[in-house]
Structure 1
């Protein structure tokens, strides 16, 4: 008879997410995952089948958490510029307990070129955020708040790139003042 699981699988995925977010896929060893989750190797492999499987689950968890905040802003009240500013503030005011940077950006650079499954997951995530941002920007263009001379999709891509760049800058040591400067410059381009 198989022994029942004695751990919270969601907590283990959260802990693994933070480990991968901090060190990347290749930089996170199985021992690092054991330490982060408090699980033994056999529990990790019996539950998640592979490091790659655990990484994908952690990436999906990260996307769900970050996207819920993004979509709450985009679907909430306020002008289009206020919403973009709020998205930038999410980067500037990221919780201190969060690792620096962005797991999606890290995975895009590290895994995207060599893992078609992860690349597909990242593409779907990008398309979902792009669609939502494009719709919000289109609405802002209709009201005259945002520049109509540029395609809404181009502006949405710019916002996504600015957010990703801000996360990379933060990981590289940029402080709040620098991130605010990037955000203010980006806002002036809309």
Structure 2
């Protein structure tokens, strides 16, 4: 029987996620991961095999957490369709404001990974594509719910609207990382909501 691990694996994955999130895959060294997780090199790689494997686990954890929070809003049957989208955009503004460090922020781990790693890692690309599809589906269904309850304009194509809101979300995150303050981000979100309102 193997010796039990003396650390919380989920906490280690979260610490690694934060390191990768701040510096990206290429900018994060093994020494950075050891410092972030509190593990030595042998413990780190005996558990997670490689930097690549740990990055995959960290990204999966981030996606599960963040997309789960977003889907909870988009699936909330107690809100009308437009209110679900408004609440989602409010959450995005909150998150984008919170993760921004002085000077330049960490941005969104998914956006950062999409632009820096996905093109050379087919498995990462597959994970990101599945996550995007899930989020687009949630938005499309929220738009359709809004059209059924009268809160969203009936002439808006649900698929195009889902892509539009996704693009606004990406824009909010990049703008926040570039230094936009909360009032500007809130104005962008409000404009998106108004574009869907009847």
TM-score (norm 2): 0.90
User: Which ranges in structure 2 are unaligned for 5 or more consecutive residues?
Assistant: none
The aligned counterpart of 1:186 is 192
TM-score, scaled relative to structure 1: 0.93
Shift of 1:92: 1.8
CA-based RMSD of the aligned residues comes to 1.7
Contact 2:85–2:142, Cα closer than 8 Å, also in 1: no
For structure 1, which runs of at least 5 residues remain unmatched after alignment?
none
**Alignment of structure 1 residues 102-121 onto 2, 5 Å:** 102-121=108-127
Cα shift at 1:2: 5.1
The residue that corresponds to 2:178 in the other structure is 172
In the alignment of these two chains, the number of paired residues is 190
- Counting only pairs closer than 5 Å after superposition, residues 92-171 of structure 1 correspond to structure 2 as 92-94=93-95, 96=98, 100-171=106-177
Given that residues 80 and 145 in structure 2 are in contact (C-alpha distance below 8 angstroms), is that contact kept between their aligned partners in structure 1? no
- Is 1:4 aligned to residue 4 of structure 2? yes
After TM superposition, give the deviation of residue 68 of structure 1 in Å: 1.5
Aligned partners of 1:100 and 1:170 also within 8 Å: no
Deviations 1:50-97 (A, max 9, x none): 111111101110011111211111122212221111111112222736
| Range with greater deviation from structure 2 (39-48 or 99-108) | 99-108
Q: Distance in 1 between matches of 2:190 and 2:145?
A: 21
Give the drift of 1:114.
0.9
SS of corresponding position for 1:93: helix
- Counterpart residue number, 2:90: 89
Q: Which residue of 2 aligns with 1:33?
A: 33
Paired residue secondary structure (1:25): helix
Higher share of residues assigned helix: 2
Q: Deviations over 1:130-164 (max 9, x none)?
A: 11111111111123321222310110111111111
CA distance in 1, matches of 2:188, 2:86: 11
CA contact (8 A) 1:100 1:167 kept: no
